[in-house]
């Protein structure tokens, strides 16, 4: 049987319309091959949100906005969400309007709650609006610019109020730089001389490097010789002997120890020194008392007188010794 041409054209037109309708729905975010249910949310402001805006759950697209309707005090948003994803949404979840990215656009993000039961079809989400990141950045930039303008104004006013001080400071700096330049110019010859002397000194060191190395070598050899000759051990032995001698003296052993530690001997020597000093002083004052010159010899009376004085001195000496021994 022959199919009429008009029927073929009609069937083709219906198929074309169905494909176009399906494509429109698919581009609008609606999957005609999956079952979906309607849900609602109310907002104070839905700026940027349009029908066909995406609805996402943890970054995965689960539906789209179907209708936006303005009511008395709120804006009602009708959402179409696939049933297989609705089973993952607790009943106290939140529908948050947020920016879709830096390129613009707005979407609804489902923030899952912690309720035990899941949301049912035709239910209403709690609607919140997340501040736009770009808008927040613009606000921050505006605040920053305002603060910067205030700072610049303050700096300008400060510079204007202290312009004379700044000019004076610049003049002082110029005068100081001129003084520094004059000092450097006047000391230039001295600096050159110092550099020349330093250069000469380094050249001298370079020319005598072999001698310096020889001196260092000799010093090393001398230190090695000292080490080999056991100089340190000998020095230690000498110090030990000296310590032993000092210990013997402190303990009063030997002649030196007795001389140092015997107080009676010290007192006797001190007394003898005193007597000798008195004798020398008397000899200096009365030399004729001890030395006599006579052409005809000594008289018997003078000899007796000297003997008596000598005996008297001996008695005084013995008396002093007796008094000291008693003390």
Instruction: Check whether residue 49 and residue 102 sit in a common domain.
Output: yes
Most confident of 11-15, 49-53, 236-240, 292-296: 49-53
Residue 288 lies in a domain: no
Mean pLDDT computed over 203-222: 81
Instruction: Check whether residue 115 and residue 104 sit in a common domain.
Output: yes
Instruction: Check whether residue 108 and residue 200 sit in a common domain.
Output: no
For 137-190, how does the pLDDT look when each residue is reduced to its tens digit (9 = 90+)? 556 667 777 778 788 777 777 777 777 777 777 888 888 887 777 777 777 777
Residue 86 lies in a domain: yes
Last-in-domain residue among 229, 247, 281: 229
**Which pairs with CB-CB distance under 8 Å and at least 24 residues apart come from 61-69?**
61/29, 62/86, 62/110, 63/29, 63/30, 63/36, 64/28, 64/29, 64/30, 65/108, 66/38
H/E segment holding residue 26: helix 5-27
Most confident of 73-82, 132-141, 280-289: 73-82
The answer to whether 39 and 122 have CB atoms below 8 angstroms apart is yes
Residue 125 lies in domain = 35-135
Instruction: Check whether residue 16 and residue 107 sit in a common domain.
Output: no
Q: Helices in 208-293 by DSSP H: which ranges?
A: 209-228, 231-251, 254-261, 263-285
Instruction: Check whether residue 28 and residue 102 sit in a common domain.
Output: no
Tokens of 167: 């000019």
**Residue-averaged pLDDT of the chain:** 77
CA angle 216, 217, 219 (to 5 degrees): 65
Residue 11 lies in a domain: yes
Please, which pLDDT band fits residue 295 given cuts at 50, 70 and 90? very low
CA angle 214, 218, 219 (to 5 degrees): 115
Question: Collapsing DSSP states into helix, strand and coil, what is residue 38?
Answer: strand
Give the CA radius of gyration of the chain. Answer: 63
pLDDT at position 93 is 93
pLDDT at position 1 is 47
What DSSP letter does each residue of 59-95 carry, written as one string? TEEEEEEEEEEE-SSSEEEEEEEEHHHHTT-BTT-EE
Instruction: Check whether residue 39 and residue 86 sit in a common domain.
Output: yes
Q: Which of 9-13, 173-177, 298-302 has the lowest mean pLDDT?
A: 298-302
pLDDT at position 97 is 92
Tokens of 71: 């009511």
Instruction: Check whether residue 5 and residue 87 sit in a common domain.
Output: no
- State if pTM tops 0.75: no
Place of tokens 């490097």: 209
Q: How many domains does the chain have?
A: 3
Last-in-domain residue among 107, 135, 163: 135
Kindly tell me if the per-residue pLDDT of 111 is higher than 90: yes
Kindly tell me if the per-residue pLDDT of 109 is higher than 70: yes
Instruction: Check whether residue 2 and residue 72 sit in a common domain.
Output: no
CA 82 to chain centre: 61
């Amino acid at each position: 049987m022959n199919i009429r041409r008009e029927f073929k054209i009609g069937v083709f037109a219906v198929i074309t319309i169905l494909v176009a309708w399906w494509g429109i729905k698919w581009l609008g975010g609606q999957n005609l091959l999956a079952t979906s249910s309607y849900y609602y949310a109310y907002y104070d402001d839905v700026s940027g949100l349009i029908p066909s805006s995406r609805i996402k759950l943890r970054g995965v697209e689960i539906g789209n906005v179907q209708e936006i309707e303005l009511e008395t005090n709120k804006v009602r948003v009708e959402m179409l969400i696939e049933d297989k994803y609705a089973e993952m949404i607790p009943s106290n979840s939140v529908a948050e309007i947020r920016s879709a990215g830096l390129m613009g656009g707005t979407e609804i993000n489902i923030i899952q709650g912690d309720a035990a039961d899941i949301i049912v079809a035709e239910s209403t989400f709690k609607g919140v609006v997340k501040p736009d990141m770009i808008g927040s950045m613009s606000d921050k930039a505006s605040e920053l610019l305002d603060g910067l303008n205030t700072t610049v104004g303050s700096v300008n006013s400060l510079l204007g109020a202290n312009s004379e001080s700044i000019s004076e400071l610049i003049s002082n700096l110029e005068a100081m730089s001129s003084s520094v330049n004059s000092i450097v110019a006047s000391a230039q010859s001295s600096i050159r001389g110092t550099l020349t002397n330093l250069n000469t000194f380094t050249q001298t060191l370079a020319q005598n490097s072999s001698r310096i190395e020889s001196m260092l070598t000799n010093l090393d050899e001398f230190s090695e010789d000292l080490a080999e000759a056991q100089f340190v051990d000998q020095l230690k032995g000498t110090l030990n002997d000296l310590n032993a001698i000092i210990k013997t003296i402190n303990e009063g052993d030997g002649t030196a120890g007795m001389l140092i530690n015997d107080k009676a001997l010290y007192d006797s020597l001190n007394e003898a020194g005193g007597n000798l000093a008195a004798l020398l002083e008397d000899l200096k004052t009365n030399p004729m008392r001890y030395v006599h010159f006579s052409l005809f010899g000594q008289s018997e009376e003078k000899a007796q007188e000297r003997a008596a004085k000598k005996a008297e001195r001996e008695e005084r000496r013995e008396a002093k010794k007796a008094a000291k021994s008693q003390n």
